[in-house]
Structure 1
Amino acid sequence: MQPENDGHKSSVQSEVSNDSTVNHNIVTAPNNEQEKTPAQPETPIDPLEEARLQKAKRTKRILTFLGLQISLFLAALDSTIVATALPRIGSDFNKMDIVSWVATAYILTFDAFQPLFSKFSDIFGRKLVLIFGICLFLFGSILCGAAKSIVMLIIFRAVSGIGGAGIFSMVFVIISDIVPLEKRGSYQGLINAVFAMSSIFGPLIGGSFTEYVSWRWNFYINLPIGGAALAVLFFFLDLPVPKGKLIDKLKRVDYVGTVIVLSFSTLFLLALNFGGQAFPWKSAAVIAPLVISIALVGLLCLVESKFAKEPLMPPRLFKNRSVLGALLTNWFFGMSFLGMLYYLPVYFQVVRHDTAMWSGIRLIPMQMIVCTVSTSTGFLISKTGRYRPLLSIGLALLSLCLGLLSLFDKNTSWSRVYGFTIIGGLGMGCMFASSVIALQAAVEKKDIAVVTGLGSFSRILGGALGVAIASTIVNSTLTQDLPLRIPSEQAQQVLQSSAYVHNGLPEEYLDTVLEVYTEGLQLVWHVLTGMAGAGFISSLFIKHHEMRKRGPPIKEEEKTPTDEIVIPPQENIEGAVIVDVADTKKEEPAKSRL
């Protein structure tokens, strides 16, 4: 009986593979099912019907990708849209002393939950995690818009941040699922362009709503747009659901690792936000969280390597030279570029006396370059299959930009300002798509979700550290130098509020204060240049992996939900399941070279 089954299996595969309209692998059903299912006669395909089906599939893919882009845009937009609304929010609630936590709460949970959602999607499925993230994000937005106190608003912003983390991590993971590695660069470039656009329009949209409508509409605006994206993805995004009972899936969750990661990231980010602002850096309120977070890293290493059955962060990944190099590169890249994005507006507003709105407008040329270059380099990666040179080029350009920023003073021409920042935009554009691809190309499919989440996690954590270092440098420079150069009463006023520099400071002290600010910012640019340089060195440790190779076959017991992706569902054939050829090829291990 067995030879007959084999013959039947071969005939089905032969008939399908010879059809010019079908490009799939066939995974045959078990033999006992084939014995019960008679062979079906080949039916001629109507060309008009085939064209209609292809058009429907194309429309479905476009709608799915648009839904992913819109979801990512909203999640990223929420991290910047409140920047220009904070003064009005603080005034309305009469809580200017803690209003910055409206922004901080979102960023804190947005980062802390990135690696968790990535791993949970391996267990519960990508679509379920994405839909959960969007729903939680929209629910948090409703609560934020209706908040009756500043404390309620801060708590609800943290809820929105959790949802935003689910959206952000899942968009990148789903793109890696549905797009073959060799074509993924172009899609990653488009996705990163959307992310960059959010940083352009966030402050502008937030300022417009705050000035002409209400700051609450900065949150309500998410509902109609996010609701449309949710509907599109719910009906058109087809992803497989991992097999197994819910109780079995819950047993797979690394609960101890989850608690440790959340505790570590929360304490680390709290310490960085407290330091130099709410409390001195030498205070127990700052030192204690930092020490505990470092201890938690050691505990996490022990738990993940010795006790966790399905680790949240598999230790084997950190033994991979390319993964470790890419994570360090993301860390230093986050430190340098986020530090620059946060402190360029300080230069514009304090040294050049720009309004908050104008400081955002002056960043538009750089951000437009980021969008253009990110998209272009993504297509370049897809065409050439090479991503490693872009990492080094991007960080070299970013280092050059930061070094040139140290030449800025109150008299620097605007042509130089725009020219130097555009160089930074070129560097950042080269980095966004290539930094994600570098991680995904270095691992097997079963680890793609985890390394994608880790990449975002390390970049945002590094960025938080970069901003904290920059803040410490500026505050220390002002604290040490101002009392020596102007009366202590005036120095204290400047230290309490930068707005006092142009609204209250006597004219005779203005040039001196601007000079001290410039010196502090110049030191910031020097330090960030060193961070970008460290990222450049880290990028040299990343091996180049051929993108058209998929790595060794994954054993049956190690398969994850992404191993048999069906997007979109194809023609059903009795006794067989259609699987995309890009996700099931069994080829030689990916070659790598320096």
Structure 2
Amino acid sequence: MRGIYQGYANLMYAVGQFTGPILGSAFLAWNETSGWRWMFGIQVPMVIIAGVLVRRNVHEFRQDQLLEIDPKDRFAWKNLSQIDLPGSFLLSCGIISMLMMFNVTSVKSLQICIVCFVLSATAFALVEKYVMTVHIIPPSAFKGVLRITALVIFFGAAAIYGMNYVLPLYFQIVHDFSQFQLGLFNSFGVFAVSFGSLIAGWYLKHDDENIGPNVIISRGIHLSIVCCMGIVTGVFLCMFAALNLKPTPDRSDLTPKVYAKLSILLLGSIISSIGYGAFLVALLILVVGLVGIKRQATVTGMNYMFRSMGQSSGVGITLGLYNHNLFNELHKYFSKKSKPDGSQILERLLSSTAFIRNGLPTEYLHKVLKIYREAVGDAMILVFLLGAAAFLLSLLLKLHSTKEEPNRREPIPSSSSSSSGV
């Protein structure tokens, strides 16, 4: 039943993710100057309430003895000293350096980022091998099928989050969508993720005690492959539409015919989101089935870590490529071709996209919108490659022998508590 509970948790996450932008828009509409402060301020009491609820209801257990840990020992030095702070810091430095490579504007800055990445990666490897006894990425949890699942979720999350950050720019800039229209479009993807999670939970649930972990593992592998194929298919539809649909100079040009063409993007977003939501649950159940109950905390934590790394990397790399190509093309068009007032126009375009339809000379409008569309299209090509990498890696799950994984014969608990959120 773990998959079903995971689906329920993702559904509540989707409700919050859908409600948040609506509240944020309301605060901005109420006060454009300070409304953004309330967007952050309103979260403070909610986080406090959540912290109190977690403190009262979420407890730690020893899986070998099933005894509740004394809260007094929770922050003892013996426990805190086992946290891999050096490894976490160096891994973060490496990820940040990698993301900065796609956002720099000079060769010197790129060289500095490369050097920082190499030094961080080297130091991380040395610290994990020779210094720390408890690792942020345990070697036993990063081999064989477990390594493949970690990479699948990394590239899958990178593809989805890269697309989710680029497509709103496409709608808002290229087709002049309003905030309400953007929120409506995003809501379909949010609930599609939850729907995919519920489908996967229903498919993977097992009330029959005679069903062993091998059956659940096999189902998880097959479902992961199908879901990754769904992600690639949805991203391909969005990439194709973004590269080929004509820009909309004015909101009045959004006719039913244009909306019908834009529905290809909506369909692609829904397909990929359903695939993403389902494969999150499928991979989670798969890794728990492989290692059993005693090691599920370790592999689940690594699962979430690679998901978070994929999310941040996908957003950073995709937006970095988008900004890089956009700046180069705009600079080439306005500065290198010596357009009248080209430098001033370029500066205003880079400072605010609102200038496109409120101040930009009309003779430049079509070309500028085309440049933005091509920048989004290039970013979507990268997103497609990330999704394709996830799909190809998922095929290796079928080819890799699960017999190499230790402790996988332990039964999967039918009523295990779920991890929260997507």
Decide: shared fold, TM above 0.5: yes
C-alpha distance in 2, partners of 1:378/1:330? 17
C-alpha distance in 2, partners of 1:281/1:322? 40
Are positions 1:221 and 2:46 aligned together? no
Decide whether the 8 Å contact of 1:393 with 1:430 is kept in 2.
Answer: no
C-alpha distance in 2, partners of 1:218/1:244? 34
C-alpha distance in 2, partners of 1:581/1:512? 58
**Please, which of 264, 268, 276 is the counterpart of residue 428 of structure 1?**
276
Number of aligned residue pairs: give it: 371
Which amino acid is 1:335 matched to? Answer: A
Are positions 1:282 and 2:282 aligned together? no
Residue equivalent to 1:265: 92
**Please, which of 174, 182, 197 is the counterpart of residue 351 of structure 1?**
174
Decide whether the 8 Å contact of 1:333 with 1:531 is kept in 2.
Answer: yes
Residue equivalent to 1:501: 356
Residue equivalent to 2:327: 479
Which amino acid is 2:99 matched to? Answer: L
Decide whether the 8 Å contact of 1:350 with 1:498 is kept in 2.
Answer: yes
- Shift, 1:358, TM fit: 2.8
* Deviation digits for residues 112-146 of structure 1 (CA, Å, limit 9, x no counterpart): xxxxxxxxxxxxxxxxxxxxxxxxxxxxxxxxxxx
Residue equivalent to 2:2: 184
Bigger radius of gyration, 1 or 2?
Answer: 1
* Deviation digits for residues 563-593 of structure 1 (CA, Å, limit 9, x no counterpart): xxxxxxxxxxxxxxxxx9989xxxxxxxxxx
**Please, which of 536, 540, 553 is the counterpart of residue 391 of structure 2?**
536
Mapping for residues 423-462 of structure 1, pairs under 5 Å: 423-462=271-310
C-alpha distance in 2, partners of 1:247/1:228? 21
The 3 A distance-change label for structure 1 pair 381 and 493 is same
Decide whether the 8 Å contact of 1:253 with 1:310 is kept in 2.
Answer: no
**TM (normalized to structure 2)?**
0.76
DSSP-derived class of the 1:445 partner: coil
Mapping for residues 512-523 of structure 1, pairs under 5 Å: 512-523=367-378
C-alpha distance in 2, partners of 1:200/1:321? 37
DSSP-derived class of the 1:364 partner: helix
The 3 A distance-change label for structure 1 pair 403 and 244 is closer
- Shift, 1:381, TM fit: 1.1
Mapping for residues 98-497 of structure 1, pairs under 5 Å: 183-212=1-30, 214-237=35-58, 239-240=60-61, 241-242=68-69, 246=73, 250-251=77-78, 253=80, 257-266=84-93, 268-269=95-96, 272=99, 276=103, 279-280=104-105, 282-284=107-109, 287-318=111-142, 320-383=143-206, 385=216, 386-406=219-239, 407-408=241-242, 409=245, 410=247, 412=258, 413-486=261-334, 487=339, 488-489=342-343, 490-497=345-352
The 3 A distance-change label for structure 1 pair 291 and 255 is farther
- Shift, 1:229, TM fit: 4.2
Decide whether the 8 Å contact of 2:225 with 2:395 is kept in 1.
Answer: yes
- Shift, 1:553, TM fit: 7.2
* Deviation digits for residues 283-302 of structure 1 (CA, Å, limit 9, x no counterpart): 43x64355334433333333
The 3 A distance-change label for structure 1 pair 309 and 460 is closer
The 3 A distance-change label for structure 1 pair 367 and 309 is closer
Residue equivalent to 2:381: 526
C-alpha distance in 1, partners of 2:317/2:372? 15
C-alpha distance in 1, partners of 2:102/2:108? 8
* Deviation digits for residues 519-553 of structure 1 (CA, Å, limit 9, x no counterpart): 1211211221111010011112336869xx97467
Decide whether the 8 Å contact of 1:388 with 1:544 is kept in 2.
Answer: no
* Deviation digits for residues 441-475 of structure 1 (CA, Å, limit 9, x no counterpart): 22243432222222222222222222232223322
- Shift, 1:365, TM fit: 1.6
C-alpha distance in 1, partners of 2:121/2:317? 21
The 3 A distance-change label for structure 1 pair 256 and 205 is closer
Decide whether the 8 Å contact of 1:254 with 1:310 is kept in 2.
Answer: no
The 3 A distance-change label for structure 1 pair 242 and 372 is same
Mapping for residues 7-46 of structure 1, pairs under 5 Å: none
- Shift, 1:492, TM fit: 3.9
Percent identity among equivalent residues?
23
DSSP-derived class of the 2:107 partner: coil
Decide whether the 8 Å contact of 1:405 with 1:522 is kept in 2.
Answer: no
C-alpha distance in 2, partners of 1:244/1:473? 47
Flag structure 2 segments of 5+ consecutive residues without an equivalent: 62-67, 207-214, 249-257, 417-422
The 3 A distance-change label for structure 1 pair 483 and 225 is closer
C-alpha distance in 1, partners of 2:46/2:327? 46
Flag structure 1 segments of 5+ consecutive residues without an equivalent: 1-182, 555-579, 584-594
* Deviation digits for residues 466-513 of structure 1 (CA, Å, limit 9, x no counterpart): 223222332233233334445233334323332221222111111111
The 3 A distance-change label for structure 1 pair 234 and 508 is same
Decide whether the 8 Å contact of 2:27 with 2:36 is kept in 1.
Answer: yes
Higher relative contact order (CA 8 A, sep 6+): 2
- Shift, 1:201, TM fit: 2.2
C-alpha distance in 2, partners of 1:224/1:235? 17
- Shift, 1:338, TM fit: 0.6
- Shift, 1:185, TM fit: 1.0
The 3 A distance-change label for structure 1 pair 334 and 395 is same
Decide whether the 8 Å contact of 1:327 with 1:458 is kept in 2.
Answer: yes
